[in-house]
Structure 1
């Protein structure tokens, strides 16, 4: 993962054989604590969201299908956070295989999120702006399913390319999990392709969507578009500064320790903010009153209670029928 985060954390700057040692204020402990907190919130939130969608929504709605896949993507990304927390606190202690595996999971979660969000935006664009297209709900459902499958295939393929570059190596008694050597521009090819390009598609789509929605008077459609807009905007707001800083880093050179210190500090803060996105979707999705109702039902186990209640009613009905039949039979025998 460090091929997207290697920013002179050690504080050494090399130039023409000279070494300048910069004393940085280290926030690795704070960063690791935030990662653990994000991990806990994300696991609870996304697990509850998946349960609500599966038990109550049945994934028949296209938006719910996308959100379900996004929750799975966030959980995959979340699973890597404890490992990065330990890495930033100490060094990489999990071996070369886990280095590659965690990097692959990290990139699968990141790439699948951005592709799914872009597909969700395009679906909103087709539904709202191109509403005259001859497309029915069944065809739309199939397109959404194909988009989700394609997102996972592309994400896995792209992540394997990045993960194979990762390697555990020792330097000054510190074990790194990152690509050895100098990271060049070619290693960042997937960054503009799978972040800035989708970002441009999202901006174009929502400009057209907002213009169309403002002309309409359907409040239900307003709410549906607003919820998707919040989910998509949250991703790009969280990851935007981080990816922008990564891109700037490729062309940034500084011999001033104070400048390097500020850059490292801003980078780590942006990394915390970016990683916190994996616990945002459940909070945003619960803005829906219907979903909040389903969540309360899930927490109070009303589904189980209702099924038990139905079972009890059916049992009582059967017993009553048996008693009634037995009683009638007894009456008939007495008559004879």
Structure 2
């Protein structure tokens, strides 16, 4: 059978099968829509707090902070589409028209692919820092690599979204409007191979080498870092791999029985919710660090935080004066403002 002229719907929103003898799984659709709304609320809170802490406390010229900033923006790109998808699932109809359909599909693709590329670039940067630490390092080159990686992530993801935007349609199916996007099979395979599995292989390889180095260290603090690293990789794999695999299965496997159709769509719905939940994972993982938890506690304890930067250099001072100077030049100073 030739696939060159056939198309497949590859998107977050996929309508359920409808037959006279095979009813839709309304309960699953309701849970899916409700899950989107819950993820939307948590993601808005988590990522906005993350951006707030970054701008208020952190140095944005720092390479890691730059990646975290862009990852938060990628997560928010997907987050803003969740209310549209939730309403579509709960009401079983697309009420928002062609423009909103194009926006939702484009934003999903930009957020998805930019997140994958940024996570890969961040992994490579950590690999060079931890594993290849004996190599000569240049701070300016590292910052330039981070900036170029972030720019490339947005350019590539936006380019793919423009391609997808030309194939967005809102059509009537079984008496309701459906927002969908059609791709040629070979283009779909190539996109999955290049924009997901290849970066995933890089991430797994780099983090495997990083874990090997960290586990050999006797420093207890570095052992705690292993947990965070494992959580980042696990979150990425758990959230995205099932979704991509189910998308491939749905592209080629067309179940005929009602039982098989229901099972495929239930599994696909679960994978969609997992993929969307990745928007919440990054803020949660970063809050595991002691520094971010401290920022969060400062916010909840109603303490006003202002950044103080003292660039003066002193020479010939005593050890005690140096300690005082470093404390004065720290990133934040806390001043209680709540009565």
- State the TM-score, normalizing by the size of structure 2: 0.82
1:134 to 1:220, Cα distance in 2 relative to 1, 3 A: farther
- Alpha-carbon distance in 1 for matches of 2:83, 2:230: 30
- Alpha-carbon distance in 2 for matches of 1:123, 1:39: 30
From 146, 169, 193, the equivalent of 1:144 is 146
1:211-250 correspondence runs (5 A):
211-224=212-225, 226-250=227-251
Q: Flag structure 1 segments of 5+ consecutive residues without an equivalent.
A: 13-19, 311-336
The answer on whether the counterparts of 1:121 and 1:228 sit within 8 Å (CA) in structure 2 is: no
1:66 maps to: 67
1:104 maps to: 106
Offset at 1:186?
A: 2.6
2:125 maps to: 123
Q: Deviations over 1:93-121 (max 9, x none)?
A: 11111111111111111111111111111
Offset at 1:24?
A: 3.5
Offset at 1:179?
A: 2.9
- Alpha-carbon distance in 2 for matches of 1:135, 1:56: 26
1:322 maps to: none
- Alpha-carbon distance in 1 for matches of 2:63, 2:213: 20
- Alpha-carbon distance in 1 for matches of 2:207, 2:239: 18
1:324 maps to: none
2:134 maps to: 132
- Bigger Rg, structure 1 or 2: 1
Offset at 1:2?
A: 5.4
The answer on whether the counterparts of 2:287 and 2:293 sit within 8 Å (CA) in structure 1 is: yes
- Alpha-carbon distance in 1 for matches of 2:95, 2:13: 18
- Alpha-carbon distance in 2 for matches of 1:301, 1:25: 49
RMSD: 2.5
Please state if 1:9 is matched with 2:16: yes
1:303 maps to: 305
1:81 maps to: 82
Q: Flag structure 2 segments of 5+ consecutive residues without an equivalent.
A: 1-7, 308-331
1:57 maps to: 58
- Alpha-carbon distance in 1 for matches of 2:58, 2:13: 42
Q: Secondary structure at the residue paired with 1:267?
A: helix
- Alpha-carbon distance in 1 for matches of 2:335, 2:13: 58
The answer on whether the counterparts of 2:238 and 2:274 sit within 8 Å (CA) in structure 1 is: no
The number of aligned residues is: 302
2:274 maps to: 273
Q: Secondary structure at the residue paired with 2:256?
A: coil
Q: Deviations over 1:46-72 (max 9, x none)?
A: 000111111111224322221111111
1:50 to 1:102, Cα distance in 2 relative to 1, 3 A: same
The answer on whether the counterparts of 1:2 and 1:177 sit within 8 Å (CA) in structure 2 is: no
The answer on whether the counterparts of 2:303 and 2:335 sit within 8 Å (CA) in structure 1 is: no
Offset at 1:302?
A: 2.1
Offset at 1:292?
A: 0.9
- Alpha-carbon distance in 2 for matches of 1:170, 1:128: 54
The answer on whether the counterparts of 1:168 and 1:176 sit within 8 Å (CA) in structure 2 is: yes
Offset at 1:203?
A: 1.3
1:224 to 1:160, Cα distance in 2 relative to 1, 3 A: farther
- Alpha-carbon distance in 2 for matches of 1:6, 1:74: 18
- Higher helix share goes to which structure? 1
- Alpha-carbon distance in 2 for matches of 1:116, 1:2: 26
1:176-191 correspondence runs (5 A):
176-179=178-181, 184-191=185-192
Q: Deviations over 1:224-262 (max 9, x none)?
A: 564344223312211111111111222213222211111
The answer on whether the counterparts of 1:227 and 1:284 sit within 8 Å (CA) in structure 2 is: yes
Please state if 1:23 is matched with 2:30: no
1:318 maps to: none
The answer on whether the counterparts of 1:52 and 1:298 sit within 8 Å (CA) in structure 2 is: no
1:309 to 1:111, Cα distance in 2 relative to 1, 3 A: closer
